[in-house]
Structure 1
Amino acid sequence: MFQLYKKRDFSALVGDTFNLFKLEGKNYFKNYFIINGGLLLLLVVILYFFMKIFLDGAFTAARTNNDEAFLNTILSDLPLFIGFGFGMILLIILASLINYIYPVAYLKLIEENQDRNTQNLIQYIKSKIGKTILFYILSIFVAIPILFIIMALTFLLVFVIIGIPLLFILIPAYTSWISLSYYHYISTDAGYFEALIKGYELLRSKFWPVIGSNFVMQTIVQITLGILIMVPYFIGIASILVNPEGMEQNPEKAFSFVTIMLTVIMIISILFNYTLQNIILINQGIIYYSIREEQENISVISSIDSIGTNEE
């Protein structure tokens, strides 16, 4: 079984993230799609119809060279457009909540040596959904303003060169701080501000390995996502280049093809972005348990307790 409480350096933080998926990946993603797959599928369907209305209006305006055509197309389907828009926002919020809780739930079940089955995961997610909503509502008023201040100062420093490398340090540091705070907030009885303080302490205690690990994972995810998005894009471009005369002779078909291509790219982007975010969130969880082990020697204490239990 995967060992959560373990002292790790930078390479171990990265390597053990992939080791966990090597051991638990099949079960992890099976349960992930059972729990969150329905919401993601519904989100994709609503996104398709929302994008269709929007792109039909945009292409009609481009084809007729009439800016009012876009507005007229949207207005003609306004109830559907608004309904799909609200539905999309609601589903994004729900899918995102589950996306953030699920890795915490999975690692918590490993910590407690419980079966990582759908029933246990759903039970834990339901018990923590309220705390997760509260965490992100409070973060809107506390953590996000801090991010804006950091970004503003960093962009000002860009003009004197020093801000450019700071961007590659502060962004991973900020996201790790929030993730570690969230893990502590959900996994313990700590309050919101207590969790933020604890998250900062955890980050500071192993600063460079944490942000280095986060940066590596973010880079891997973004490169993978970029490749997955570019494949249908290049297929679409190649199709246009192979038959440019047909596209010119039949503009309706060309616009329809471009609409489908853009929608497919958007759908792939959303599906894989949600899925690949699990890698980053699991990495942050491994960081959380690793630093706690360094500070509290939990595995040693647990081993001593188990020896005492066995002797009895």
Structure 2
Amino acid sequence: MFQLYKKREFSALVGDTFNFFKLEGKNYFKNYFIINGGLLLLLVVLIYFFSNIFIKGTFEGLRNGNQNSLANEIYGNIGLFIGFGIAMIFLIMLISIINYSFPVGYLKLIEEKKERNFENLFKYFKSKLVRIIGFYFLSLIILLPLLAIVVALTFLSIFILIGIPLIFLLLPTLTSFIALTYFHYVTEEIGYFEAIKKAVLMLKSKYWPIIGSTFIVQMIVQITLGIFTLIPYFIGIITVFSNPESLQQNPDNAISFVMILLLVIVIISIIFNYTLQNIVLINQGVIFYSCKEEMENVSINNNIDLIGTDEA
């Protein structure tokens, strides 16, 4: 079983993130797709039908030289356009909530030494549903405006050069701050502002190892995502250059091929983005439990508590 409570420095925070998937990866992703796979598939279907409106309108415009074809296509299917749009927004929010909550629940079951299966995960999410929803509503009202100001000020500071290094620190810092706040708020029975306070204390306690490991894991994820996204792109390029005569003779097929290729890239990007984000979130979980061990000596206290029970 993966050891949660362990004092880790930078290299261990990165290494144990991937060690987790060596030990738990198969079971982790099996349960992840049981819970979130259907929603991701539904999102892909909605994106296909939603994008089909744009593809059809753009294709007609390019073929007929009518710049209003896309607008006409949207207005002609305005009911479907709005319906698909609302459904996609709701579905993306739901998938994002599950995506963010799944690693929290999975690691909590490891902490409680419970079997990591669908039933136990479902029970945990059900017991924490109010806190999960509460976190997102409170964050929209309280945290999002403050973070928007911080991001804006950071980008404005680029003009005085100091903002350039701050940009590289901003994303991993915000990622860790939000994730650690979420871990505190969901796993512990504390208030929202208390969770924020504890997250800040954790960040301050080991800022550079935390931010460094978060940055490295995010870079690995983005490079991997880029590779998976480029695969269909290169397949398309090879197809075009291997048979350029047929595409030149039938430009309609060429336009249709490009549109479909772009749609495939978008769909692959979305699916792999949600899936690979689990690596970043597990990394934040490793950071959370490592910092708790540093600050509270949880494993030592647990061993002391077990001394009397072993003799009984």
Q: Give the Å deviation of 1:255.
A: 2.1
What is residue 167 of structure 2 aligned with on the other side? 167
Contact 1:184-1:195 at 8 Å conserved across structures: yes
Alignment partner of 1:133 is 2:123: no
Contact 1:101-1:128 at 8 Å conserved across structures: no
What is residue 31 of structure 1 aligned with on the other side? 31
Q: Give the Å deviation of 1:289.
A: 0.4
Contact 1:101-1:129 at 8 Å conserved across structures: no
Alignment partner of 1:85 is 2:88: no
Cα 1:130–1:252 change in 2 (3 A) is farther
Superposed CA deviations along residues 278-298 of structure 1, whole A, max 9, x for unmatched, are 000000001000000010000
- In the aligned structure 2, how far is the partner of 1:142 from the partner of 1:205? 24
| Counterpart AA for 1:217 | V
What is residue 75 of structure 2 aligned with on the other side? 75
What is residue 195 of structure 2 aligned with on the other side? 195
SS at match of 1:4: coil
Q: Give the Å deviation of 1:130.
A: 2.5
Superposed CA deviations along residues 116-169 of structure 1, whole A, max 9, x for unmatched, are 011101111222232122211211122222222122221222122221111111
Q: Give the Å deviation of 1:58.
A: 2.0
What is residue 184 of structure 2 aligned with on the other side? 184
The 5-angstrom pairing of residues 1-312 of structure 1 reads 1-312=1-312
Structure 2 unaligned segments of length 5 or more: list them: none
Contact 2:43-2:88 at 8 Å conserved across structures: yes
| Counterpart AA for 1:212 | G
SS at match of 1:67: coil
- In the aligned structure 1, how far is the partner of 2:287 from the partner of 2:218? 15
| Counterpart AA for 2:75 | L
Contact 1:180-1:284 at 8 Å conserved across structures: yes
- In the aligned structure 2, how far is the partner of 1:147 from the partner of 1:250? 51
Q: Give the Å deviation of 1:311.
A: 1.7
- In the aligned structure 1, how far is the partner of 2:189 from the partner of 2:63? 59
Q: Give the Å deviation of 1:81.
A: 1.8
- In the aligned structure 2, how far is the partner of 1:63 from the partner of 1:134? 50
- In the aligned structure 2, how far is the partner of 1:280 from the partner of 1:268? 19
SS at match of 2:128: helix
Cα RMSD, aligned residues only: 1.2
Contact 1:61-1:68 at 8 Å conserved across structures: yes
Contact 1:52-1:259 at 8 Å conserved across structures: no
- In the aligned structure 2, how far is the partner of 1:160 from the partner of 1:217? 29
| Counterpart AA for 2:261 | M
Structure 1 unaligned segments of length 5 or more: list them: none
TM-score, length-normalised on structure 1? 0.97
| Counterpart AA for 1:141 | I
- In the aligned structure 2, how far is the partner of 1:74 from the partner of 1:250? 26
SS at match of 2:160: coil
| Identical columns (%) | 61
Contact 2:59-2:256 at 8 Å conserved across structures: no
- In the aligned structure 2, how far is the partner of 1:28 from the partner of 1:297? 27
